[in-house]
């Protein structure tokens, strides 16, 4: 019969009228992030970082800026002291190549995604911020972190984060 | 006694009387509200306010009330549309402003009023500013003869339905003015389309009404409601109802006939250049037209203020209007838009013959049973309507024109001329 | 007095609701009928091919995400296949299976998006779009699970994929596979029988097989015209020759065929994903390669059947760490060559549906 197709379509929309909406009411409800989510709040362990700048080299956009100085302590030996470690998250595309490239597992992707700011300069994450930030590393390129659950106040030390 | 004369003959008084009554169920909350108001103003006392002033005041108050019901209804119809569309689309719809998003219309209104009102430099400024008014005023005039409850008619015109048809087609002049004066090609397309659309769909719209008018024998809307004694006209006039609903969708520029706004083709058609409250007035006009036309559908086909349970007449009326509006929204959520030539085909080759067939069949039925139609005609009518629609659709359908041969040489000479 | 008429020239785009990005059409109308069309593009040009010459082979993968941002996985796949050919290596079997699985999931997502926007262009107010986006969300969730991002996946690597499937992936995929056929049916029921849709699409925007072949059209647009050409069958890459699936073919090459064919392709993709899941072998997902690749000097062309057609990467290596030249054969761009001939003679309303039925992605057109 003519009009049957229209009626069938109307039945489909009517069926959806009585279904529960799929919308997630964001600020109150949150969709779960998966462990490998490549997010903001890069996790950086200074004690592991040698200042080799592999991450900076592998970044396709050159968003990581590293300046080093000779380590004043002669006992440490195989590493540089870090003066500057800036990640320009305004240009970062979160491809995760820096994390993959890091030979000492010092850099991890973060799990956060709420870091809206008003100015571009404030999107540059400086070394002090990286030191002070809560460390909630993502499991991206670090499969051993799979399954870790982060509470609000968790902050993993470099031993807990593992290799 | 002047008051008695007023109470029987004066429409403003009748309107206020009707709003206070549950007359049909014998319950009387505000007996003769109009009379009471008249007396309170000193209408009956010699040397008080003159009668004509009382008429004028009560009439204006009635008009004010009805227009405001329409205007207040608009934001909530928009909200209902957004909520329902949301649910049809498996999402929530607006729910952040106020409880369940009930304050959303307020927020929208404030936003529209504070928005910059842009008039394009090349627009025809007078016509551009006038168009929203020309669009909205006829729509508001449409509410005058709507019967909200027994006697609650602002203007109990004997030619009520004719008046409505005449007035509403004037609104499209506003659309054309807006589209033309914007000096925008998309607007012009929208304006041209609306002229074609309205010319085509007014005719089946009017012809579909004729069946109802023949059944009742009156053009008066209140008389049409009274004439639907036991069953609504829908049961006697299924074919007319189908034609009328389709024609009304086109008249209201609702999906699937929204091609004068056609957001995916014409950006937003005739109101592409409008912003701020001018745009807001156009929206009010569109949605007020939806309210008004659903009121007319309720009156003509669904027995207006009458209902099977004891409720005030205007509640029944508003309930039926709400159902019809929800139906429009449901259609909008499902059906894609027709093309221009297909719409013309549908109007002239499908609806017009159907409306004529409906008139002939109704006339025959009335001739055969002048003392009232027998009940067994209801299923016959429905079967007949289904058969006619199926046959007409198979024969005519909505096939559009095929691809047109363009013999002309290319207009753009170079591909790099930009 | 004689009256003169002349066509009205309308500039559609670059900002227009249905040009799917920043695409511009200069159209000459006679009334509603299209007299001539001039497509203008380049508004989204980002110089991906030139940028690729400045990046190492691994870094270029991030650029390919941004070509066809509706189907990044297949762009990744085409690129890594080209590099693998250049180096003369092949990914381990598990890696290939994962890649094919991801590419097919991507095809479903891309077709879902095309169907949603196609029907939206036709004026079905948002409903099909919302339904298709709801289902696409599940696929993007799967991607986030395996690689941490939803759109800019950067998942495939030369010699395999970046990471193995996580443990929660298989149950989630099973849930998705159980759900998606019903949802495709829903979508079909919603509109494909609709009389208005049939009137709008049947015999509209005809593309003959000859014209399609002459215009180098590939992908669903070509198959809808009745040409049996699918790289997954015609030139099987990776493990497609071990999988069972059909290539749906259209008859007339009209809008309706292009629409229905995509629905059918989604069903076939579900079949492929299911087979991949069942046959998934063990072993490594990735070859042990250094991050800095130095392929031998030479050139190679890697191509895949992307959701929009044949996507190819032509790479020239001079033996250094970055490609000497990277040329991209993007299906969207080449499918646009037939647009002018398809549009002339139709009406304004058909313009958006024909354009939508070709499923063009501006990120890929302008590169």
Q: What pLDDT is stored for residue B14 in this prediction?
A: 63
Burial class of B372 by CB neighbour count within 10 A (0 to 12, 13 to 18, 19+): exposed
Q: Which residues of A touch B337 (CB under 8 A)?
A: none
The CA distances from residue B239 to B210, B229, B233, B250, B352, in Å, are 12, 20, 11, 17, 12
Asked if the structure places residue A47 within a domain, the reply is yes
* Rounded Cα distance, B360 and B211, in Å: 9
Asked if the structure places residue C93 within a domain, the reply is yes
Cis ω before A123 (30° cut-off from 0) = no
Asked if the structure places residue C294 within a domain, the reply is yes
- Reported as a single tens digit per residue, the pLDDT across C252-289 is 888 888 888 888 899 899 989 988 888 888 888 888 88
Average pLDDT, chain C: 86
Q: What pLDDT is stored for residue A144 in this prediction?
A: 78
Q: Do C199 and B403 touch (CB under 8 A)?
A: no
Q: What pLDDT is stored for residue B38 in this prediction?
A: 66
The CA distances from residue C201 to B340, C122, C124, C338, C341, in Å, are 14, 9, 13, 18, 17
Q: What pLDDT is stored for residue B28 in this prediction?
A: 52
* Rounded Cα distance, C5 and B408, in Å: 13
Q: What pLDDT is stored for residue B3 in this prediction?
A: 46
Q: What pLDDT is stored for residue B408 in this prediction?
A: 61
Q: Which residues of C touch A91 (CB under 8 A)?
A: none
Count of Cβ atoms closer than 10 Å to residue C242 Cβ: 14
Burial class of A18 by CB neighbour count within 10 A (0 to 12, 13 to 18, 19+): exposed
Number of structural domains (chain C) is: 2
Q: What pLDDT is stored for residue B417 in this prediction?
A: 46
Does A31 reach chain B within 8 Å, measured CB to CB? Answer: no
pLDDT band at B5 (very low <50, low <70, confident <90, very high): very low
Same domain for C102 and C4: no
Q: What pLDDT is stored for residue A2 in this prediction?
A: 64
Does B305 reach chain C within 8 Å, measured CB to CB? Answer: no
Average pLDDT, chain B: 79
Bridge partners of C306, per DSSP, are C309
Least confident of B397-406, C17-26, C47-56, C72-81: B397-406
B92-109: average pLDDT: 83
> Could you tell me which of A94, A90, A96, A69 has the C-alpha nearest to residue A80?
A69
B276-297: average pLDDT: 88
Supply the CATH number for residue C155's domain.
1.10.645.10
- Reported as a single tens digit per residue, the pLDDT across B38-78 is 666 666 556 666 667 777 777 787 788 888 888 888 888 88
Asked if the structure places residue A20 within a domain, the reply is no
Q: What pLDDT is stored for residue A76 in this prediction?
A: 66
Does A136 reach chain C within 8 Å, measured CB to CB? Answer: no
Q: Which residues of B touch A24 (CB under 8 A)?
A: none
The CA distances from residue C26 to B308, B383, B410, B417, C92, in Å, are 59, 51, 12, 10, 49
Asked if A13 contacts B88 with a C-beta cutoff of 8 angstroms, the reply is yes
Supply the CATH number for residue A98's domain.
3.30.70.3270
Query: SS3 for A42-105, per residue?
Result: EEECCCCCCCCCHHHHHCCCCCEEEEEEECCCCCCCCCEEEEEEEEECCCCCCCCHHHHHCCCC
Picking from C148, C154, C193, the nearest residue to A138 by CB comes out as C148
pLDDT over threshold 80, residue B227? no
Picking from B89, B333, B390, the nearest residue to A1 by CB comes out as B390
CB within 8 Å of chain A, chain B residues 69-108: 84, 86-92, 95
Q: Where along chain B do its domains lie?
A: 118-396
Residue range(s) defining the domain that contains residue C176: 47-355
* Rounded Cα distance, B68 and B65, in Å: 5
DSSP B351: I
Q: Which residues of A touch B333 (CB under 8 A)?
A: 13
Alpha helices, DSSP H, located in B228-349? 233-236, 238-251, 276-301, 313-334, 340-345
Q: Do C32 and B340 touch (CB under 8 A)?
A: yes
Q: What pLDDT is stored for residue B418 in this prediction?
A: 44
Q: What pLDDT is stored for residue A33 in this prediction?
A: 80
Q: Which residues of A touch B334 (CB under 8 A)?
A: 6, 9-10, 12-13
The DSSP line for C75-116 is HHHHHHHHHHHHHT----HHHHHHHHHHHHHHHHHHHHHHHH
CA angle, corner C59, sides to C58 and C62, nearest 5? 110
Q: Which residues of C touch A3 (CB under 8 A)?
A: 195
Phi, psi (rounded to 5 degrees) for C115: -65, -45
Flag whether the ipTM exceeds 0.95: no
Asked if B208 contacts B240 with a C-beta cutoff of 8 angstroms, the reply is yes
Q: Do B389 and A9 touch (CB under 8 A)?
A: no
Same domain for C330 and C223: yes
Q: What pLDDT is stored for residue A32 in this prediction?
A: 78
Whether this model's pTM surpasses 0.90: no
Question: Taking CA atoms, what residue in C is nearest to A13?
Answer: C190
Same domain for C53 and C21: no
Picking from B90, B334, B394, the nearest residue to A10 by CB comes out as B334
Same domain for C345 and C229: yes
Pull the structure tokens for residue B276.
Answer: 């701020």
Q: Do A21 and B84 touch (CB under 8 A)?
A: no
Q: How far is C252 from chain B (nearest CA, A)?
A: 15
Asked if B240 contacts B206 with a C-beta cutoff of 8 angstroms, the reply is no
- Reported as a single tens digit per residue, the pLDDT across A17-34 is 888 888 888 888 887 788
Phi, psi (rounded to 5 degrees) for A108: -130, 150
Q: What pLDDT is stored for residue A7 in this prediction?
A: 78
Q: What pLDDT is stored for residue B1 in this prediction?
A: 36
Q: Which chains touch C (3 or more CB pairs under 8 A)?
A: A, B
Residue in the block written with tokens 């659709």:
B393
C6-21: average pLDDT: 80
Same domain for C14 and C113: no
Asked if the structure places residue A62 within a domain, the reply is yes
Q: Do C148 and A2 touch (CB under 8 A)?
A: no
Q: What pLDDT is stored for residue B7 in this prediction?
A: 43
Cis ω before C213 (30° cut-off from 0) = no
* Rounded Cα distance, C100 and C280, in Å: 11
Least confident of B126-140, B308-322, C31-45: B308-322
Asked if the structure places residue A129 within a domain, the reply is yes
Q: Which residue has the higher pLDDT, C7 or C322?
A: C322
Picking from B333, B389, B397, the nearest residue to A13 by CB comes out as B333
C138-163: average pLDDT: 87
Q: What pLDDT is stored for residue C355 in this prediction?
A: 87
Pull the structure tokens for residue C289.
Answer: 């390669």
CA angle, corner C76, sides to C73 and C82, nearest 5? 140
* Rounded Cα distance, B125 and C242, in Å: 69
Least confident of A60-69, A76-85, A154-163, B409-418: B409-418
pLDDT over threshold 80, residue B36? no
> Could you tell me which of B59, B42, B53, B58 has the C-alpha nearest to residue B3?
B42
Asked if A65 contacts A83 with a C-beta cutoff of 8 angstroms, the reply is no
Side-chain half-sphere exposure of C362, counting CA atoms within 13 A: 21
Picking from C134, C144, C190, the nearest residue to A22 by CB comes out as C134
Q: Which residues of C touch A9 (CB under 8 A)?
A: 189-191, 193-194
Rounded percentage of chain C residues whose pLDDT exceeds 70: 100
CB within 8 Å of chain B, chain C residues 111-170: 119-127, 130-131, 134
Asked if the structure places residue A108 within a domain, the reply is yes
Q: Which residue has the higher pLDDT, B413 or B207?
A: B207
Does A6 reach chain B within 8 Å, measured CB to CB? Answer: yes
Average pLDDT, chain A: 80
Same domain for C130 and C21: no
Q: Do A97 and C58 touch (CB under 8 A)?
A: yes
Q: Do B85 and C9 touch (CB under 8 A)?
A: no
* Rounded Cα distance, A137 and A32, in Å: 15
The H or E element spanning position A154 is none
Asked if C321 contacts C57 with a C-beta cutoff of 8 angstroms, the reply is yes
Count of Cβ atoms closer than 10 Å to residue B162 Cβ: 15
pLDDT band at C5 (very low <50, low <70, confident <90, very high): confident
* Rounded Cα distance, B191 and C329, in Å: 43
> Could you tell me which of C19, C360, C20, C353 has the C-alpha nearest to residue C201?
C353
Count of Cβ atoms closer than 10 Å to residue A7 Cβ: 12
Least confident of A67-76, C180-189, C215-224: A67-76
Rounded percentage of chain A residues whose pLDDT exceeds 90: 0
* Rounded Cα distance, B199 and A150, in Å: 66
* Rounded Cα distance, A5 and A10, in Å: 9
B196-201: long-range pairs with CB below 8 Å, 24+: B196/B340, B196/B344, B197/B250, B197/B253, B197/B257, B197/B259, B197/B260, B197/B343, B197/B347, B198/B169, B198/B172, B198/B251, B200/B250, B200/B343, B200/B344, B200/B347, B200/B348, B201/B247, B201/B250, B201/B251, B201/B257, B201/B347, B201/B351
Q: Which residue has the higher pLDDT, C40 or C1?
A: C40
B141-168: average pLDDT: 81
Q: Do C195 and A6 touch (CB under 8 A)?
A: yes
Q: What pLDDT is stored for residue B15 in this prediction?
A: 66
Q: Do B390 and A23 touch (CB under 8 A)?
A: no
pLDDT over threshold 80, residue B107? yes
Residue range(s) defining the domain that contains residue A114: 33-161
- Reported as a single tens digit per residue, the pLDDT across B327-339 is 888 888 888 888 8
pLDDT band at C352 (very low <50, low <70, confident <90, very high): confident
Same domain for C196 and C308: yes
Bridge partners of C286, per DSSP, are C160
Does C197 reach chain A within 8 Å, measured CB to CB? Answer: yes
Least confident of A126-130, B241-245, C154-158: A126-130
Number of structural domains (chain A) is: 1
- Reported as a single tens digit per residue, the pLDDT across C65-120 is 888 888 888 989 999 999 998 888 888 888 889 989 999 999 999 999 888 888 88
Q: Which residue has the higher pLDDT, A120 or B26?
A: A120
Asked if C353 contacts C255 with a C-beta cutoff of 8 angstroms, the reply is yes
Rounded to 10 deg, the angle between the B185-216 and B160-181 helix axes is 180
Q: Name C290's Cβ contacts closer than 8 Å, sequence gap at least 6.
A: none
Picking from A4, A37, A109, the nearest residue to C144 by CB comes out as A37
pLDDT band at B400 (very low <50, low <70, confident <90, very high): low
Asked if the structure places residue A116 within a domain, the reply is yes
Q: What pLDDT is stored for residue B416 in this prediction?
A: 47
Q: Which chains touch A (3 or more CB pairs under 8 A)?
A: B, C
């Amino acid at each position: 019969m003519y009009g049957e197709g229209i009626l069938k379509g109307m039945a489909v929309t009517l069926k959806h009228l009585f279904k529960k909406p799929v919308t997630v009411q964001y600020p109150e409800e949150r969709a779960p992030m998966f462990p490998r989510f490549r997010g903001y709040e890069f996790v950086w362990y200074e004690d592991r970082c040698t200042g080799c700048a592999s991450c900076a080299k592998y970044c396709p956009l050159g968003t990581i800026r590293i300046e080093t100085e000779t380590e004043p302590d002669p006992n440490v030996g195989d590493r540089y002291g870090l003066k500057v470690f800036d990640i320009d998250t305004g240009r970062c595309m979160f491809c995760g190549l820096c994390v993959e490239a890091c030979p000492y597992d010092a850099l991890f992707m973060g799990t956060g995604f709420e870091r809206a700011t008003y100015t571009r300069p404030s999107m540059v994450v400086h070394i002090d911020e990286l030191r002070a930030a809560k460390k909630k590393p993502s499991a991206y390129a670090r499969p051993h972190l799979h399954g870790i659950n982060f509470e609000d106040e968790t902050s993993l030390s470099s031993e807990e984060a593992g290799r | 006694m002047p008051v008695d004369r007023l109470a029987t003959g004066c429409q403003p008084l009748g309107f206020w009387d009707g709003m206070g009554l549950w007359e049909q169920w014998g319950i009387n909350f505000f007996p003769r509200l109009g009379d009471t108001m008249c007396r309170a103003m000193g209408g009956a006392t010699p040397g008080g306010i003159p009668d004509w002033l009382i008429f004028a005041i009560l009439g204006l108050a009635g008009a004010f009330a009805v227009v405001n019901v329409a205007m207040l209804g608009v934001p909530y119809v928009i909200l209902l549309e957004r909520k329902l569309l949301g649910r049809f689309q498996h999402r929530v719809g607006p729910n952040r402003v106020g409880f369940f998003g009930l304050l959303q219309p307020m927020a929208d209104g404030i936003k529209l009023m504070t928005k910059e009102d842009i008039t394009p430099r090349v627009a025809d400024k007078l016509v551009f500013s006038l168009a929203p008014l020309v669009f909205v005023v006829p729509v508001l005039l449409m509410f005058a003869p709507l019967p909200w409850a027994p006697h609650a008619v602002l203007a109990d015109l004997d030619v009520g339905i004719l008046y409505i048809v005449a007035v509403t087609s004037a609104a499209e002049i506003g659309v054309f003015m807006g589209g033309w004066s914007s000096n925008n090609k998309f607007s012009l397309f929208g304006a041209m389309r609306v002229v074609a659309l309205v010319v085509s769909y007014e005719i089946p719209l009017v012809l579909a009404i004729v069946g109802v008018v023949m059944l009742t024998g009156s053009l008066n809307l209140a008389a049409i409601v009274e004439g639907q004694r036991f069953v609504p006209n829908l049961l006697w006039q299924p074919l007319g109802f189908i034609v009328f609903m389709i024609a009304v969708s086109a008249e209201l520029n609702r999906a699937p006939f929204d091609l004068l706004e056609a957001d995916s083709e014409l950006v937003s058609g005739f109101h592409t250049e409008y912003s701020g409250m001018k745009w807001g007035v156009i929206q009010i006009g569109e949605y007020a037209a939806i309210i008004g036309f659903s009121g007319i559908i309720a009156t003509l086909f669904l027995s207006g203020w009458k209902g099977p349970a004891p409720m005030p007449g205007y509640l029944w009326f508003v309930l039926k209007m709400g159902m019809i509006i929800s139906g429009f929204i449901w259609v909008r959520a499902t059906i894609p838009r027709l093309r221009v030539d297909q719409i013309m085909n549908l109007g002239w080759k499908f609806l017009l013959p159907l409306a004529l067939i409906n008139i002939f069949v109704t006339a025959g039925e009335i001739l055969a049973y002048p003392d009232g139609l027998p009940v067994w005609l209801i299923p016959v009518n429905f079967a007949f309507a289904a058969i006619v629609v199926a046959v007409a659709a198979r024969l005519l359908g909505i096939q559009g024109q095929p691809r047109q041969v363009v013999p002309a040489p290319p207009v753009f000479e170079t591909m790099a001329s930009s | 007095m004689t009256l003169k008429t002349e066509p009205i020239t309308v500039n559609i785009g670059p900002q227009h609701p249905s040009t799917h990005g920043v695409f511009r059409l200069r159209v000459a109308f006679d009334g509603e009928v299209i007299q001539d069309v001039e497509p203008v593009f380049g508004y989204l040009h980002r110089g991906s091919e030139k940028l690729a010459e400045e990046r190492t082979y691994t870094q270029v993968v991030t650029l390919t995400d941004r070509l066809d941002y509706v189907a990044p996985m297949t762009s990744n796949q085409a690129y890594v296949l080209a590099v693998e050919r250049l180096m003369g290596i092949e990914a381990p079997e598990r890696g290939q299976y994962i890649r094919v699985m991801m590419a097919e999931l991507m095809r479903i997502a891309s077709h879902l998006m095309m169907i949603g926007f196609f029907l939206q262009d036709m004026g079905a107010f948002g409903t099909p779009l919302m339904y298709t986006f709801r289902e696409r969300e599940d696929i993007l969730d799967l991607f986030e699970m395996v690689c941490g991002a939803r759109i800019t996946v950067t998942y495939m690597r030369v010699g395999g994929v970046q990471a193995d499937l996580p443990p929660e992936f298989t149950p989630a995929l099973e849930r998705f596979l159980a759900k998606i056929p019903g949802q495709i049916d829903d979508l079909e029921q919603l509109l494909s029988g609709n009389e208005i849709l049939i009137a709008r699409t049947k015999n509209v925007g005809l593309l003959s097989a000859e014209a399609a072949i002459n215009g180098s059209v590939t992908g669903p647009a070509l198959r809808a015209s009745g040409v049996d050409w699918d790289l997954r069958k015609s030139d099987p890459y990776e493990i497609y020759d071990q999988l069972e699936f059909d290539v749906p073919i259209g008859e007339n090459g009209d809008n309706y065929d292009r629409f229905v064919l995509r629905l059918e392709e989604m069903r076939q993709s579900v079949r492929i994903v299911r087979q991949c899941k069942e046959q998934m072998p063990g072993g490594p997902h990735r070859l042990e390669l250094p991050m800095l690749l130095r392929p031998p000097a030479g050139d190679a062309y890697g191509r895949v059947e992307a959701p929009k057609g044949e996507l190819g990467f032509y790479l020239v290596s001079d033996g250094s760490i970055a490609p000497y030249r990277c040329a991209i054969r993007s299906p969207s761009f080449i499918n646009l060559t037939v647009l002018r001939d398809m549009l002339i003679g139709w009406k304004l309303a058909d313009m958006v549906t024909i354009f939508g039925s070709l499923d063009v992605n501006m990120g890929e057109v302008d590169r």
